[in-house]
């Protein structure tokens, strides 16, 4: 694991989301209930920004564009673009569920560190 120092932890206060560049990719840092989470900054559904999405009490981030929702810790799909009933079956066939990539986080010495696998961080 290649640990990359990003921001001081005070730059991501409770309830905020911040994008940082890590190993050539945009990573969304989110602080929820005291923990910092790191995910891709784009929803895997249509690759639209997640920074404006809300985080619910259960720790899922909701895409503001198509209402998909993902667990901040695991990236698992909680809801996948809940389409209207008329077009849902058709669009569901062309838009398969995809997890939101997540990255390990550690807060150490007042800084937020993101873990990248060696191949990702090179």
Q: What is the CATH number of the domain that holds 20?
A: 2.102.10.10
* pLDDT of res. 84: 62
- Structural domain count of the chain: 1
* pLDDT of res. 67: 83
Q: Is 100 exposed, middle or buried (0-12, 13-18, 19+ CB in 10 A)?
A: buried
> Does the structure show a pLDDT above 90 at 94?
no
* pLDDT of res. 7: 97
- Going 55 to 5 to 75 to 121, the CA torsion angle's sign is positive
Sheet of 111-116: strand order equals: 2-8, 111-116, 105-108
Distance CA(14)–CA(115), nearest Å, equals: 21
Q: Which domain holds residue 51?
A: 2-121
For 37-93, the pLDDT digits (tens) are 999 999 998 899 999 999 999 999 999 988 899 999 999 999 887 766 565 555 555
Cα–chain center distance at 10 = 19
């Amino acid at each position: 694991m290649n640990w990359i120092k990003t921001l001081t932890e005070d730059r991501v206060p409770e309830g905020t989301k911040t994008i940082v560049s890590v190993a050539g990719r945009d990573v969304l840092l989110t602080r929820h209930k005291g923990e910092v989470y790191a995910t891709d900054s784009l929803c895997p559904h249509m690759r639209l920004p997640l920074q404006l999405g809300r985080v619910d009490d259960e720790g899922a981030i909701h895409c503001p564009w198509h209402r998909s929702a993902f667990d901040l810790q695991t990236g698992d799909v909680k809801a996948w673009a809940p389409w209207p009933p008329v077009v849902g079956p058709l669009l569901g066939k062309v838009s398969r569920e995809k997890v939101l990539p997540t990255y390990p986080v550690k807060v150490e010495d007042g800084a937020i560190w993101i873990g990248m696998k060696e191949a990702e961080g090179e």
